[in-house]
Amino acid sequence: MKPLPALVCLLLALGLVLGRQAHAKVWTAGGLTFSDELGGFRLISVSGRGSIEDPIVIVEELTSIKPVVLVIRGQQDRARKDEVIPGRPILYLAVIKIVLNRSKRVWGGFDLELQQELGSPSPYGDGLSFDQLGGFGARLHSDRFATNRQIYEPYDRVRFEIGSVDPGAQARFRFFITDPTPVEEFYLLQEPRLLMAGGLQGAARTAAQFPRGGILASVASRRDRVLGPSDPRIGY
């Protein structure tokens, strides 16, 4: 079989991209647009203005355990129109994310990562972060995971852990995004972490600090360990 000409291959690739974008969901809220055009998940709704009193609320469903990327555009237009926080010249966004687990696996954790360039970690110097300077004065939170921690280098990532999300259930996350030098487009990578049989060290001891039936007690009773196989940059 003869190899396809380069032009034909290019046209086929372009057709795949345009086809995926044609089926993408694009929502506008707070002067920004949010899109699932890169595939792998379904964006159900986006609302709100992005302030602490009226956060951007993103509802979506994930049908697999693979990392997916939400595309966010329009920060500069938003700043000029003062649609998020009047008078503030930087990106300053409060977000509530509700994620439905439509996969067949139990999630034992959930990671969020910011990127200014798709596929490239966001370094400290680009300004984009999960409110690294603490301007909002509020904590990150999830109703399904008892703890979270921010990882600043070599990428800007938040890891929610010590908990679980069963298939068919949903998880709620609260976080904040800031950037003193906003760009026209950036990306939010989202990655469930699997719950695998094996034993979660220390969970039983920590569970004693929580009411019976709480998040940690549930995890301890499973005696599972958290595993995130799809990201080789993270050591587990």
Q: pLDDT value at position 107?
A: 97
Each domain of the chain, given as residue ranges in start order, spans 21-195
CA pair distance 59, 44, nearest whole angstrom: 5
Q: pLDDT value at position 5?
A: 62
CA pair distance 80, 75, nearest whole angstrom: 9
Q: Note the pLDDT tens digit of each residue in 134-187.
A: 878 789 999 999 999 998 877 899 999 999 999 999 999 999 999 888 888 999
- Residue pair 134/175 in contact (Cβ under 8 Å)? The answer is no
CA pair distance 150, 67, nearest whole angstrom: 18
CA pair distance 18, 187, nearest whole angstrom: 19
Q: pLDDT value at position 182?
A: 84
- Displacement of CA 92 from its chain's centroid (Å): 17
Write phi, then psi, for 209 (nearest 5 degrees): -85, -10
User: Would you call 171 helix, strand, or coil by DSSP?
Assistant: strand
- Residue pair 171/217 in contact (Cβ under 8 Å)? The answer is no
CA pair distance 112, 177, nearest whole angstrom: 11
Q: Which residues contact 78 (CB under 8 A, 6 or more apart)?
A: 30, 31, 32, 84, 91
Q: What is the pLDDT along the chain (236 residues), one digit of tens a residue?
A: 455 565 444 434 444 444 445 578 899 998 899 999 999 999 999 999 998 999 999 999 999 999 999 999 985 444 444 444 555 557 889 999 999 999 999 999 999 999 999 999 887 778 899 998 787 878 999 999 999 999 887 789 999 999 999 999 999 999 999 988 888 899 999 999 997 655 444 343 333 444 434 444 444 344 344 444 444 333 32
